[in-house]
Structure 1
């Protein structure tokens, strides 16, 4: 779910970055955010694929990788939001982006919590 949300948010932001009347800083922040979300999607996708490869002998190594990738996805999402900090950004654009990124970040955070709980069960 987190991967899907990040992917759809990235697509939406790519479209938003072409709206007329946006200032260069807004366009730059949108483009940076699309790149960060793309990285996030890649990390979440890789995590899901690796979770399917877990066997008894490789559990610890794979879980460590998955935890790292999902944490990195959260960092990417936070970095995206940083581009919209301050009063320079348009209120409507900032609000729309913030709402979407906060949703993606919550889903990713929930995914990490579930992954951490799963890993703890096997320690």
Structure 2
């Protein structure tokens, strides 16, 4: 009788151990499966939400296609922040202004330019320098747009960006007329048009921060 009881107890103990192990394995497997399944979804959904946010936000601009084209690569930084979106738009505009300025400066050094053409290019170089300075000032100001004087700071930012846009438009106006080399005019105007579109978009996205 004693031997039977011990054997029975051992069997019960083994059975309980097996049941416990099976439960733990089931729990661990379920948890692991859930974690593995949830992790990719989280990684996928985050940039997806950011891309949707950028695309929707670009809808308020005059040039939504170029807006999304140039800002989608900043999705990780922007996420769903209107301020980061505006900052990214300003950075893109500044980089384009610097690139355009370098191009115009290169063309201004040509020795075979007609007097009127040389004057237009020289004026455009100055316009680009001013535009770059104004965009840089706006980026600096954007770092501290908070507090009770938020509206005043935002007004200053918009003033600088608007001034940059005006300088870009003035540069284009310098190349109006038929007396200019068509190739030079078309090259510069192509860059300036793109820059103006980017700056206009940045201005629209900054304005959304005030609403």
- The TM-score bracket by the shorter chain reads over 0.9
**C-alpha RMSD of the superposition:** 0.8
1:56-95 mapped onto 2 (5 Å cutoff): 56-95=147-186
1:15-62 per-residue CA deviation (whole Å, 9 max, x = no partner) reads 111123211111111110010011011011000000001222221111
State yes or no: 1:96 paired with 2:175: no
1:11-90 mapped onto 2 (5 Å cutoff): 11-90=102-181
Consecutive unaligned residues in structure 2, runs of 5 or more: 1-91
Q: Which one has more relative contact order, counting CA pairs under 8 Å at least 6 apart?
A: 1
Runs of 4+ in 1 over 3 A off after TM superposition: none
Query: 1:67 aligns to what SS in structure 2?
Result: helix
| Inter-partner Cα distance in structure 2 for 1:38 and 1:73 | 9
Bigger mean CA deviation after superposition, 74-83 or 54-63? 54-63
Q: CA deviation at 1:76?
A: 0.4
1:56-102 per-residue CA deviation (whole Å, 9 max, x = no partner) reads 22211110001111111111001101110011111000100100000
Structure label with greater radius of gyration? 2
Consecutive unaligned residues in structure 1, runs of 5 or more: none
The TM-score normalised by the length of structure 2 is 0.56
1:2-13 mapped onto 2 (5 Å cutoff): 2-13=93-104
